[in-house]
Amino acid sequence: MLHLRKKILVAIDGSPQSDKAAEEAVRMAVGTPSRFKSKIYAMLVLPNAPSNTYTDFIPTRPVTEQEKWEELRKRIFYVIEKDAAEADIPLEIKVVYGEPAEELIGFAEKEGVDVIVIGSSGKGFLRRKLLGSVSHKVAKYAKCSVYIVRG
């Protein structure tokens, strides 16, 4: 049986559920029996930057361009960076703007990702119906395997 390295995409947002997903992604990468190392992509999807109107005198800068960004980035990616470094797994950090499910699915298709690891927020039935669920959308529309980590 041929064992090749896996490309693993993990959705990160700084929540406890995404930290669990990060831990599972590293476990998957370590557990792949291959002489080639698996690679993890950790993706944070931020909401689209607010559009400025002609009445705005000072447009707000995206969060990634603000002074507090580096401290925030360290907190959000702390678990995945620590775990990947300890396991000696290659890690690539991605920060994009857009709708989370669309960005994750699009990136997975473009990069040929083997599995998307995503945390489940545990929303109730009504809230999920009204707002939608990122993990549900990803599981439904992704062309690769999706591993949902429950909180």
Span 12-66, pLDDT tens digits: 998 899 999 999 999 999 886 666 789 999 999 988 755 555 555 556 666 666 7
Alpha helices in 9-133 (DSSP H): 16-31, 69-87, 100-111, 125-131
Domain ranges of the chain: 7-50+59-149
Sign for the pseudo-dihedral over CA of 117, 45, 140, 34: negative
Confidence of residue 130 (pLDDT cuts 50, 70, 90): very low
Mean pLDDT value across residues 130-141: 80
Q: Chain-wide mean pLDDT for the chain?
A: 83
| pLDDT of 80 above 60 | yes
Nearest residue to 43 via CA among 123, 139, 108: 108
* Residue % of the chain over a pLDDT of 90: 57
pLDDT at 47: 81
Confidence of residue 1 (pLDDT cuts 50, 70, 90): very low
- H/E element, 94: strand 91-97
**What's the rounded mean pLDDT across residues 124-132?**
50
- Lookup result for tokens 């690891």: 117
Q: How confident is the model at residue 137 (pLDDT cuts 50, 70, 90)?
A: very high
Confidence (pLDDT) at 117: 96
pTM exceeds 0.85: no
CATH topology of domain 7-50+59-149: Rossmann fold (3.40.50)
